[in-house]
Structure 1
Amino acid sequence: MNIATTHVIFGTGPLGRAVMNELIRRGKQIRMVSRSGQMAEIPEGVAIVAGDLYNADCVREVTRDAAVVYQCAQPHYWAWPEKFPPLQAAIIAGLTGSQARLVIGDNTYMYGDTRGQPLTEDLPYAARTRKGKTRAAMSQAALEAHTTGKVAVSIGRGSDFFGPWVTDSTFGARVFYPALEGKAASFVGKLDLPHTATYIEDFGRALVILGEHDEALGKAWHVPSDRPEMTQRQFAQLLYYTVGHPIKVSGVSKPMMALAGLFIPGARETVEMMYEFEQPFVVDANRFAQTFAMQATPLAEAMEATVAWYRMHPQLR
């Protein structure tokens, strides 16, 4: 009997890359899967193949020798309700009966507006937004697939993230590139309220940890972040200190976001999620930290690594 040893990552975006980085550190055999089969700056020894993840037969083929599968692929933000559920359904169908574990990278939209209450894994799925309802239904479907024995599933949930390759985020290019030039970084909503930011490399490390532990299975877990109660302004203060410029920030209000949404699909889809930026938004990850003894990367270290990456990639602004 052959022992499956390959770690298969669906998606070559920031989260897929972060999982890849952690697996490289652990000396694992890695296969990346994307629709194009292409990826910039591929590390030596990492395989990348093209695959249609909406096709269960393709999923089955590219994971035939997989020990763990990390689901980090997603459609465009504005297409989630229509295209995300069939993507996950095909992945689960393709893995049904496999010995591979499925680790899903997720967010916190399914909880809905908690009125400033910290987010824990025990909260009900109370989302009223389109994307929140989509995420809730997908989480329920994934955990049901585990319960019914189709595939062994665990879920890792992060907050808004930042880090290398993270450009399309509220803590992404619109924040880091202006800061590097001494210009005003554009944040979302109210800047002096707590708002958890997840370092993408911590997210990747957390998903790998989930794939290693039996006790992670059948559950959703929140990814640890350093200083989870930090405000966006405090994030900006550390950023500008790191780049060596005086702090300059602006905040995009809900009406401004709605106006931008007339022309920009991503902004239009952000409007319904603005509640996250108009009240405290703190993700409690104590359960993960205590169960798996994971400590998040110190924020100053994460900031330095992120700034260094942006300096090396000016062409992506």
Structure 2
Amino acid sequence: MQTILGANGVIGYELAKALKDYTNDIRLVSRAPKPVNESDQLFSADLLNYEQTCDAVRGSEIVYLTIGLPYKSSVWEAQWPVIMQNVINACIKSSAKLVFFDNVYAYGKVKGEMTENTPMRPVSRKGVVRKRLTEMLIHEIERNTIPVIIARSADFYGPRNTNSVANLIFDNLVKGKTPQWLGSTEFVHSFTYTPDAGQATAILGNTPSAYNQTWHLPTDAQQLTMQAFISTACEVLAKEPKTSIIAPWMMTLGGLFNSTIRESKEMMYQYDAPYFFDSSKFQQAFNFVPTSYQKGIVNTIQYLKNKKS
């Protein structure tokens, strides 16, 4: 049994599809799970409840934690450590391996490329939470309680993605509006393609030698500036390559009325400097070629156009 905790999100979806290459025994867990494959087992659970978490994990060989919480620092601070400890304890109880789908917030503002060896120096409340979760997992690795993988992704884009800064570009373009961005378009900014992220997470989970390590999920190594990324998306739809910049003062003003904008302000450091995510460790270990931005952008726009029609 391979179990996905937080199966309703885009990563859970792509992971469930990819796991079919390894097993037909897949359990999808969320508060209201929906099937991805015909043979999926559905299990409803609240991961804040330890007993429900144990029930969800019971019988699993591999557990993937891909859950997403509301984008609010106070919620992350209160709930993430509880969920992580519940999942760790449930995996220990069931002798299950644990794969945690993570982001780069714990790194903080990085000069140069981000690698698996980049030190954790968070500069945001959300980053501090992510650092704590990583430390909890490293503690279990050091104690040799359960095998653990930390699989990190850059900001992501792709079909079915509804919760990423990249939606400021793609959603607006498909609606005939000007794409938006949170800062200068002169800087390089890496994006992980969601189908690649799902496939790579499945590969890691089913590779015994990958455990007790951190891995960056495969991401196109092209160092595109945001202007080049946006221009590529505009070309697909034959749109003039214009961009509407959301200035810091607009974030401050918008935050007075919108909690998501308010919560995003502390992350602006990611958009006012180069953000390059290196995934060469994974690519070399598994001979994996990430989807190019050009192909991924076309696929993402085509999906949104089909969804709209």
Give the TM-score taking structure 2 as reference length. 0.93
Aligned residue number for residue 139 of structure 1? 134
Preserved contact between residue 36 and residue 50 of structure 1 (Cα < 8 Å): yes
Cα distance in 1 for residues equivalent to 2:190 and 2:155: 7
**DSSP 3-state at the match of 1:184:** coil
Q: 2:161 aligns with which of 159, 166, 171?
A: 166
1:105 match: secondary structure = strand
TM-superposed deviation, 1:27: 5.0
Matched, 1:22 2:18: yes
Matching residue within 220, 223, 231 for 1:226? 220
Residues 81-125 of structure 1 deviation map (CA, whole Å, 9 limit, x = unaligned): 2221111111111111433211110001111112x3211111211
Q: Distance in 1 between matches of 2:150 and 2:212?
A: 8
C-alpha deviation, 1:228, in angstroms: 4.5
Query: What's 2:242 paired with?
Result: 248
1:63 shift after superposition: 2.1
Unaligned runs of 5+ in 2: none
Give deviations 1:191-249, integer Å, cap 9, x for gaps.
11000011111111121111122332112111121145212211111211222322231
> Partner of 2:68: helix, strand, or coil?
coil
- State the TM-score, normalized to the length of structure 1: 0.91
Unaligned runs of 5+ in 1: 1-5
SS of residue paired to 1:66: coil
Amino acid at match of 2:87: I
Equivalent pair of 1:227/1:299 in contact (CA under 8 Å) = no
Query: 1:183 touches 1:248 (CA, 8 Å); kept in 2?
Result: no
What secondary structure is seen at the aligned counterpart in 2 of 1:195? coil
Letter matched to residue 20 of structure 2? I
Q: CA deviation at 1:188?
A: 1.3
Offset from partner CA, 1:168-188 (integer Å, 9 cap, x none): 21102x321221233201111
Residue 91 in structure 1 maps to residue 94 in structure 2: no
Equivalent position amino acid for 1:210 in 2? L
Which residue of 48, 65, 69 corresponds with 2:59?
A: 65
Distance of aligned partners of 1:160 and 1:290 in 2 relative to their CA distance in 1, 3 Å threshold: same
Q: 1:284 to 1:227 in 2, by over 3 A?
A: closer
For 1:188 and 1:29, how far apart are their aligned partners in 2? 42
CA RMSD of aligned residues (A): 1.8
Is the CA contact (8 Å cut-off) linking 2:24 and 2:39 kept in structure 1? no
Aligned residues: 306
Q: Write out aligned runs for 1:151-300 (5 A).
A: 151-172=146-167, 174-300=168-294
Cα-to-partner distance string for 1:233-280 (whole Å, 9 max, x where unaligned): 111112112223222311212222222111222211111111110010
1:25, distance to aligned residue in structure 2 (A): 4.5
